[in-house]
A and B are shown apart, each in its own frame.
Chain A
Amino acid sequence: MATKLSIDGKEISASEGETLIDVAADNGVYIPSLCYMRGRPCLGTCRVCSVVVNGSIMPACTVRISGDMVVEVAKPEVADMRKALVEANFSEGNHNCPSCEKSGRCELQAVAYEVEMVVSRFPYRFPERERDQAARLIFLERDRCIFCQRCVEFVRDRETGRKIFSIHGRGTHARIDIDVELADRMPPEQAREAAEMCPVGCIIEKGRGYNDPIGKRKFDIRSIRERALEEDNK
């Protein structure tokens, strides 16, 4: 059922039940996110898409449109909060963009540019999470994981539907893990899909990197904002 809402004072028509982050994008309002993938179930893990809905802060990927919503995206306080969440991701891991092979096609890096992050306001934790290269096609750089859980939910064994990736431990002890037996049943195209799905350089394909010259990398060609707002993403 059609309804109306306002985003940053602009009146918009939408259908009840639609996801707020999609409706915003369809109306030219970019809301950054690191876990949400349009067309797939909401994960709500990164909180980077937080906006103000009827006075409360909520992740836009978890909000379903209902009548008479008043949404604030550009409000300086909430924009700074989104920026802080992005900065926290950098502080929680070891993200060395200059030498990371995901640079130029990394969503965390791209979103950091979008929110105009310069340096994290939080102290860097420099975690030590052991790398895992046991799988045949996948190299796991655990220090770069932001625990978005895309891989956990969306990368599954094609025969059994079992999860290939999981998160072990809690809090600062949490780490991404891989079921090597199941991972080694992945065909190369699925391994590549998993690497592409990872918003950072945590899941990387073995033996492959830096294949696209600077200037021709994913976000060199079109920014993450343009990709989120473009027609073929709808």
Chain B
Amino acid sequence: MEDTIVGDAVTGRKLVIDPVTRVEGHGKVTVHLDAANKVVGARLHVVEFRGFEKFIQGHPYWEAPMFLQRICGICFVSHHLCGAKALDDMIGVGYADGKQITRTAEKMRRLGHYGQQLQSHVTAYFYLIAPEMMFGIDAPPEQRNVLGLIEANAELVRRVVALRKWGQEVIVAVLGKRMHGISSVPGGVNGNLDTAARDRLLNGTGDLIGVDTVIDYAQDALRLFYSYHEKNRDMIDNFAVVPALNMSLVDETGNVDYYHGRLRIVDRDKNIVQELDYHDYLDAFSEATEEWSYMKFPYLKAFGREKGSVRVGPLARVNVTKSYGDDTPLAKAALERFHDYAGGKASDATLHTNWARAIEILHSAEQIRNLLRDPELQGNDLVLNPPNSDWTGEGIGVVEAPRGTLLHHYRADREGKITFANLVVATTQNNQVMNRTIASVADTFLSGQETITEGMMNAIEVGIRAYDPCLSCATHAMGQMPLIVSILDAEGKLVDECVR
């Protein structure tokens, strides 16, 4: 089925999911059926407008990482670091000039980032996605939530809470707060890791698990996925298999680097179709807009709007990455199992994203353990103060956020006032492929059906949740957001409505 959406002239029905539940932010889905109940179009609408790129203008440049992290209550560390990297460029100590901050500063930034990845992935995987793994897509809505998980397996949820808390405490150790703290400043960081915080995270305390327990609990996600996959192999492997190029930041060995690297794009056969310095993103990418969504549609200019859209995030990263390092042996083995299963190809199976996310939970935990044992985190060489003559007035930062490749681009005048800001967030990169997923699921589950069940509609949400989209960031109303399915006739008249 095509990505394109039908015009008003088509007779039939329009199904609406508004809002989409168990995702970050607000969105709605519309599905168009023709007179024979065949799906002829489906799309995801993002219905909020934020405007951060506009209202940061005029602020002093050094406020940007602090100000713009407020766009998100989940992946704020990624926004914070992305902004800081852009400011490193701006003051003349960044990668754009072939320079870099001190090793202690970079490792502190990485530590905070892995802590966020752990807690973010655990939140998405267990609280938002796991209910369908445990109870099925058709399970009653009152069971498909975290309370249902507690009832079914309280011990698992207890481990999940402990794991997520530990990830949050890593963030506290680096940024000073669980949410929207401060660590990165232009040219470095404002503090190192004190040994008390390090030892608390390594050894645990009365109310906090230690790192060895974290590594054990982090494998719960994979255990759950393997069990689910074993029982539902056909459904998982064939649910919304949608084509897309895969993009990730990679290091010099071609493997994912969440903090820095080159942008690599591979096709289904893992051929590198394009690779670029992210400072050249404007040369490589363009953005399309649609009147029905506040979210843009980025694509690679060289491939055009349809073929040039990329997938980012966990699935893209494990598709691009060849292998993890020997310092993360458990995650490395898990990735090899994934690659073996995919037969050496990049996976296009939407629900394999959850598998990839489970691998990354373990990978993050192992990376944090390694960093906590690194004495460079106690270094005192924290920030570079270049001379004014190094000022460039422009900077671009890119990191691999939990949901995928995140970019911040700023310009400032010589007096330090921001004059331009552009943010390309991971969910935006995934916009086109998410719409493909919705169309595929709608076609499979809804086409030809006279009566639309709640479970059928939930299948669409399952497809969306696999991307863990942050539709406008940081708005959550767990279990309180209504789902309204309206069936309209060709004249727009309501013929049926289902509310939960």
Binding site for B on A (CB under 8 A): 98-99, 101, 131, 133-134, 139, 141, 204, 206-216
Q: A99-B66, A101-B63, A207-B62 are in contact. Are A213 and B190 (CB under 8 A)?
A: yes
The answer to the question of B204 belonging to the interface, with a C-beta cut-off of 8 Å to chain A, is: no
- Can you list, as one digit per residue, whether each of B46-74 has a CB less than 8 Å from chain A (1) or not (0)? 00000000000010101100110010000
Residue ID in chain A nearest B174 by CB atoms? A213
CB closest residue in chain A, given B181: A214
The reply on B182 being an interface residue by CB < 8 A is: yes
B60 touches A210 (CB 8 A): no
Q: Is the CB of A214 within 8 A of B66?
A: no
CA distance A208 to B383 in the complex (A): 12
Residues of B within 8 A of A209 (CB): 60, 62-63, 66, 185
Contact assessment for B416 and A210 in the assembled complex, using a CB-CB cutoff below 8 Å: no
Choice from B70, B183, B416 contacting A207 with Cβ under 8 Å: B416
Q: Is B180 an interface residue (CB 8 A)?
A: yes
**7 A-B interface contacts by CB (under 8 A):** A99-B63, A101-B63, A134-B415, A141-B60, A206-B60, A212-B190, A214-B182
Does B177 make an interface contact (CB < 8 A)? Answer: yes
Interface centre among B63, B181, B183 (most CB of A within 10 A): B63
Q: Which residues of A contact B62 (CB under 8 A)?
A: 101, 207-210
Residues from chain B with a CB closer than 8 A to the CB of A101 are 60, 62-63, 66
A214 and B177 form a contact (CB under 8 A): yes
Interface string of B179-219 (1 = CB under 8 A from A): 01111011000110000000000000000000000000000
With CB as the reference atom, state the residue of chain A lying closest to B56.
A99
| CB closest residue in chain B, given A209 | B62
User: Within 8 Å CB of A214, what residues of B?
Assistant: 175-177, 181-182
Chain B residues positioned under 8 Å from A213 (CB to CB): 176, 182-183, 190-191
Residue of B nearest to A210 (CB): B182
Residues of A within 8 A of B177 (CB): 214
Specify the main secondary structure of chain A where it touches its partner: loop
Bound Cα distance A139, B190 (Å):
21
- Tell me whether A139 and B60 are in contact (CB under 8 A): yes
Q: Please tell me which one of the listed residues A134, A207, A211 contacts residue B190 in the complex, with CB atoms under 8 A apart.
A: A211
Q: How large is the interface on B (under 10, 10 to 19, 20 to 34, 35 or more residues)?
A: 20 to 34
Name, among A101, A131, A133, A210, the residue most crowded by chain B CB atoms within 10 Å (CB to CB).
A210
A131–B58 CA distance with the chains assembled, in angstroms: 8
**Least Cβ–Cβ distance between B130 and chain A, in angstroms:** 32
Nearest-Cβ distance from residue A180 to partner chain B, whole angstroms: 11
| B262 CB within 8 Å of chain A | no
Cα of A129 to Cα of B228 in the assembled complex, Å: 59
> B413 contacts which chain A residues (CB < 8 A)?
133
- Shortest Cβ distance from A168 into chain B, in angstroms? 20
Contact B66–A207 (Cβ < 8 Å): no
Q: Do residues A133 and B66 form an inter-chain contact, with CB atoms below 8 A?
A: no
Closest 9 CB pairs of A and B: A214-B176, A213-B191, A133-B415, A99-B67, A209-B62, A210-B182, A99-B66, A213-B190, A133-B417
Q: Which residue of chain A is the closest to B415 with respect to CB atoms?
A: A133
Taking a contact as CB atoms under 8 Å apart, the answer to whether B416 and A139 are in contact is yes
B176–A215 CB distance below 8 A: yes
Tell me how far the C-beta of B334 lies from the nearest C-beta in chain A, rounded to whole angstroms.
35
Query: Which of chain B's residues has its CB closest to A208's CB?
Result: B62
Complex Cα gap A99–B175 (Å)? 14
Most buried by A among B58, B62, B70: B62
Most chain B C-beta atoms within 10 Å of own C-beta, residue among A99, A208, A215: A99
- Could you tell me the distance in whole angstroms from the C-beta of B393 to the nearest C-beta in chain A? 13
Q: How far is the CB of B216 from chain A (nearest CB, A)?
A: 30
A211 B63 Cβ-Cβ under 8 A: no
Is the Cβ of A207 less than 8 Å from the Cβ of B186? yes
Q: How far is the CA of A211 from the CA of B183 in the complex (A)?
A: 9
Tell whether A133 pairs with B190 under 8 Å between CB atoms, given A207-B416, A214-B177, A215-B176.
no
Question: Do B60 and A133 touch across chains, with their CB atoms under 8 A apart?
Answer: yes
Interface residues of B in 330-361 (CB under 8 A from A): none
The residue of chain B having its C-beta at the shortest distance from the C-beta of A96 within the complex is B67
* Inter-chain contacts of B415 with A (CB < 8 A): 133-134, 139, 206
Closest to A134 in B: B415
Q: Give the nearest-CB partner of A131 in chain B.
A: B58
Q: Which residues of B contact A207 (CB under 8 A)?
A: 62, 91, 186, 416
Minimum C-beta distance from B183 to chain A (A): 7
Chain B min CB distance to A157 (Å): 21
Known A-B contacts: A133-B417, A206-B416. Give 9 more (CB < 8 A): A133-B413, A139-B60, A141-B60, A206-B415, A207-B91, A207-B416, A208-B62, A209-B63, A210-B62
Question: Is B191 touching A216 in the complex (CB atoms < 8 A)?
Answer: yes
- Partner of A133 from the list B63, B67, B186, B416 (CB cut-off 8 Å) is B416
Q: In the complex the two chains form, what is the Cα distance from A90 to B188 in whole Å?
A: 32
Closest to A215 in B: B176
User: Taking the nearest CB of chain B, how far is it from the CB of A104, in angstroms?
Assistant: 9
Complex: A161 Cα to B63 Cα, angstroms = 33
User: Complex Cα distance A141/B417, Å?
Assistant: 11
Give B241 Cβ to nearest chain A Cβ, in Å: 43
CA distance A171 to B423 in the complex (A): 39
CA of A57 to CA of B122 in the docked complex: distance in angstroms? 57
Quote the shortest CB–CB distance from A198 to chain B (angstroms). Answer: 15
- How far is the CB of B270 from the nearest CB of chain A, in Å? 42
What is the minimal beta-carbon distance from A211 to any residue of chain B, in angstroms? 6
| Residue of B60, B91, B190, B416 contacting most chain A CB atoms (<10 Å) | B60
